[in-house]
Amino acid sequence: MLDEILISKGIIEKYFNKITDSLDVDVAIVGAGPSGMLAAYYLAKAGKKVVLFEKKLTIGGGMPGGGMLFNEIVVQAGAKPILDELGVRITEYKKDYFLADAIECSSSLAYHAVNAGATILNCIMAEDVMVKNGKVCGLVINWSPVNMAGLHVDPLTIRAKVVVDSTGHPCEVVGVVERKSGLKLNTPTGKILWEKSMDADVAEGLVVDNTKEVCPGLYVCGMAANAVYGTPRMGPIFGGMLLSGKKLSEILIAKV
């Protein structure tokens, strides 16, 4: 006979242990889009302690929507080996252009990240960062529904050796740092330059180039990187997102 209270206790106890274990980590990533999840996968696979916070109920960032809700995505040849590694089925469309199911890609990224040992906590947002001695060293987190409801509820904190902004176009974490921390970003103006209009060919290369430390302790990847450094957007082609996440993981594996 099923016991409703036992069901509730199991959920509470397991989640309590999960979030308690996430309070002090090697890498805290904000935003469970493709670049953030792929970075989490490689980092966890390398033995790093990784937690990934997603403010929405669902994961995948812009990937599940494909192009204008046609849930297929394009990946160029350079990123094909990553999807092959993840076991995602792909179809060659034209030379150097490959098609993949957006839902399968998103699901595979999440599965591999969690299976490698990363923790993904959804419905949690980073409303602030911790800064000590001129370095970002953690996050201030709260339930995203609390923010949506406009409730005055104090947050909790996460300590991390490195924080990653993978929040896409809004580059939310970097925005908080720019507004509140007093830290200068390593952009030409010391501030967010914001993304430019569509140029997929340029943007796909620059999103990898822009994947780097933007101020002490804080890194950017994916579309957040292009937003911070003022380079174009690229639309529903995701090879650059994947290559950005992989590059970030390589940088941080050597660092933390």
pLDDT per position as a tens digit, 59-104: 999 999 999 999 999 999 999 999 999 999 999 999 999 999 999 9
Average pLDDT over residues 197-210: 98
Average pLDDT over residues 121-147: 98
Q: How confident is the model at residue 29 (pLDDT cuts 50, 70, 90)?
A: very high
Instruction: Render pLDDT for 152-174 as a digit per residue (tens, 0 to 9).
Output: 999 999 999 999 999 999 999 99
Q: How confident is the model at residue 108 (pLDDT cuts 50, 70, 90)?
A: very high
pLDDT (0 to 100) of residue 16: 97
Going along the chain from its start, the domains and CATH numbers come out as: 22-255 (3.50.50.60)
- pTM, two decimals, is 0.97
How far apart are alpha carbons 119 and 153 in whole angstroms?
24
pLDDT (0 to 100) of residue 206: 98
